[in-house]
Structure 1
Amino acid sequence: MKKFKIKLFTTILASGLSLSTQAADSLNIYAWAESIKPELISEFEKETGIDVVIDSYTSNEDLLAKLKSGTTNYDLVSPSQHFVDIMIKEGLLENINANSMPAFEAVDEKWKNQWWDKSSEYSIPFAYGSAGFTVNRDLYKGPANSWKEFFEPGEALKGKIAVFATPDEVIPAAQLYLGVPFCSEDSSEMKKVLDLLTKQKEYVAVYSSDNIGSRVGGGEVAIHSWWDGNSLKARKIDSAPIEYAQPKEGLVGWIDSLVVPKGASNVNNAKKFINWISEKDNATAQANYYGHSPAVAIDLSKSIYTQVNSPELFPTVPVVMARSCSPKAQKLVDRVWTSLLE
């Protein structure tokens, strides 16, 4: 798993400091890789005296597995909507009375009391966007307006396709293309998904959610699964010759929220950080760094992303939010993915 750290993770010192003493001035965050602006972490530390440590992950599945292992020391994590739902149902999150926090007042009304946290007690929405695919325009000159280019590429693209390493957004994308409902419990429909992915496999160079920018931007592959804001930043900041596709069948939607794992040692510090980063100036700086759409109010006059210069964030096609599945449907998803990678 790819990791970066703002500080080295410290252990209890030999001098005998207790865990409770350390907890008073610590905050351990587990977040999407490169998702939080480092300068904001430094500012938060200076203002509060709280030492922040960050580890990173690249998939919701990794995060869920880590929390279910019960061996983490994390105080704050940021799962996507369907995983918030799963984590609440499995008792993996603290009820932080999110709807009474100052941060909640900054949340866009459309994201409050949603199906993944109907009472808005566990989560504060953080950022949202879409998962689709990006094409390298030096290597691929064809259209980028259908999932067909990704799932049923031409012979010239054999070995030039790269796909996310986990099924979370790949299988929903295949379902959008085939017209199969998300979380289908119909084995015959999911067989169609497996057949599609199996046929695509001979064109796939790698299944990976790491180093996507260098892989597609550098021309190792011509088409790669990716997220809207990441593709945007690679195009604008790195001047990569890429384009984020707008498939007519739709994009897979996501919204990440800030939540506190059950049993966290530093719940109050986590809530302080959530409130702090949701303040308008901080939220604006964070949104400009992250490159995804903010779920809380920002200063639009200071936003560097607009509909004109950032089409990735303003899709012209439907965005369909991924959902948590029933045990029966999830079993079919797992079976499809396991069969694919055998």
Structure 2
Amino acid sequence: MSIKNRMQALAGACALGLALTVSAHADGSLSIYAWADSIAPDVVAKFEKETGIKVTVDAFSSNEDLLTKLQAGSSGYDIVTPSQHFVKIMIDSGLLEDIGATSMEAYQQILPEWQKPWWDPTGNYSIPLAFGNAGYTVNRDIYKGPVDSWKTYFEPPAELQGKIASLAQPDEVIPAAQNYLGIEYCSEDPQKMKQVLDLLLAQKPSVAVYSSDNIENRIGSGEVAAHFWWDGNTMRVRHNDKANVEYAMPKEGLVGWLDSYVVPKGAANIDNAKKFINFMASLENATDQYNYYGHSSPVKIDETKALYNKENAPELFPTVPVKMGQACSPAAQELVTKVWTQLLQ
């Protein structure tokens, strides 16, 4: 579901007697393109108030859509938030600004395990925003059976047939199928990828829709009984909407992701972008962001003020293996594209 948040910048520069306050404020604007509902509006408003920078937040629902926009050039955005393997693709394609991330205040807040990861080994381009995993969610008002394997989703029992929903893109669905089949991510073996295609084609009659939008309403209302989805999103619809949903913990493993702040090449407001990234990574603001978004934080937060823990948010603390999605070779990506194209034709 696409959203756009437009917030009013301070008018203090025009007001008599506020010169000293306004002198500390930055000028201009900041345009952000992020996953839908991923950036806390209250924290954005706080940033605007403290800096005088006017912020616009637009939303995307897939890494593929974001990549296409950047490849087209002149996106008009100053910050975007791709997942790890797409950060790697964007760096290799020259689509991102070198913001010297390791020298930024925000870098000091990153948890050690997420510093200089394989997708940004020099630490020049990205500051992490949130991490989690992709799996499937069931509506327990409709489906009462086990959710300890991907078999439930990819080879659904009778009560789920025709009541499953998938995503519109292959980015996480195919790796999940590979987890189930015991096939390595980014396989360049056509025979192994045919196994993936055969599995998805056999599942297709049970799939009501392939869509990455409006998932919370589709699964929360019981329109479908199972939906490919994400950990924190499931937790939020369970907490906020009191939906009777459960996030599966398949023994074959979940598909991991980490989204980061990056700056597109040629962005008009790089300094403002870095100010925002530093602001969001501070202990207080990162905690507020975590409490809003409901996905795990790769930067330090105040645990005493964090709303979620193992007891009330088990979705965020997986009990099965999590394998991070990878940036595939051109040959492997071509096979992924072929599988998905044949599936949806």
Q: Which 5+ residue runs of structure 2 have no aligned equivalent?
A: 9-25
Kindly state the Cα deviation for residue 158 of structure 1 after the two structures are TM-superposed. Answer: 1.9
Residue 218 (structure 2) pairs with residue 215 (structure 1)? yes
Residue 174 (structure 2) pairs with residue 171 (structure 1)? yes
Q: 2:264 aligns with which of 219, 237, 261?
A: 261
Which amino acid in the other structure matches residue 4 of structure 2? K
Render the CA deviation track for 1:16-58: whole Å, top value 9, x for unaligned: xxxxxxx941000000000011111111101000000011001
Matches of 1:149 and 1:281 in 2, distance apart? 41
Indicate the percent of aligned positions where both proteins have the same amino acid.
Answer: 60
Equivalent pair of 2:7/2:54 in contact (CA under 8 Å): no
Structure 2 partner of 1:7: 6
Q: 2:189 aligns with which of 180, 186, 189?
A: 186
Which amino acid in the other structure matches residue 185 of structure 2? F
Structure 2 partner of 1:14: none
Matches within 5 A, 1:117-128: 117-128=120-131
Equivalent pair of 1:134/1:224 in contact (CA under 8 Å): yes
| CA RMSD after TM alignment | 1.1
Residue 284 (structure 2) pairs with residue 281 (structure 1)? yes
Equivalent pair of 1:128/1:255 in contact (CA under 8 Å): yes
Equivalent pair of 1:85/1:116 in contact (CA under 8 Å): yes
Equivalent pair of 2:7/2:55 in contact (CA under 8 Å): no
Matches of 1:277 and 1:184 in 2, distance apart? 37
Equivalent pair of 2:85/2:119 in contact (CA under 8 Å): yes
Equivalent pair of 1:24/1:266 in contact (CA under 8 Å): no
SS in 1 for 2:30: strand
Structure 2 partner of 1:311: 314
Kindly state the Cα deviation for residue 154 of structure 1 after the two structures are TM-superposed. Answer: 1.5
Equivalent pair of 2:74/2:266 in contact (CA under 8 Å): no
Structure 1 partner of 2:133: 130
Matches of 2:304 and 2:223 in 1, distance apart? 38
Matches of 2:252 and 2:245 in 1, distance apart? 21
Kindly state the Cα deviation for residue 157 of structure 1 after the two structures are TM-superposed. Answer: 1.7
Render the CA deviation track for 1:301-341: whole Å, top value 9, x for unaligned: 00010111110000000000000000000000000000000
Kindly state the Cα deviation for residue 102 of structure 1 after the two structures are TM-superposed. Answer: 0.3
Structure 1 partner of 2:205: 202
Matches within 5 A, 1:1-342: 2-7=1-6, 24-342=27-345
SS in 2 for 1:292: coil
Runs of 4+ in 1 over 3 A off after TM superposition: none
SS in 2 for 1:117: coil
Which amino acid in the other structure matches residue 7 of structure 1? R
**TM-score, normalising length: structure 2:** 0.94
Render the CA deviation track for 1:117-146: whole Å, top value 9, x for unaligned: 001000001110000000000000000010
SS in 1 for 2:6: coil
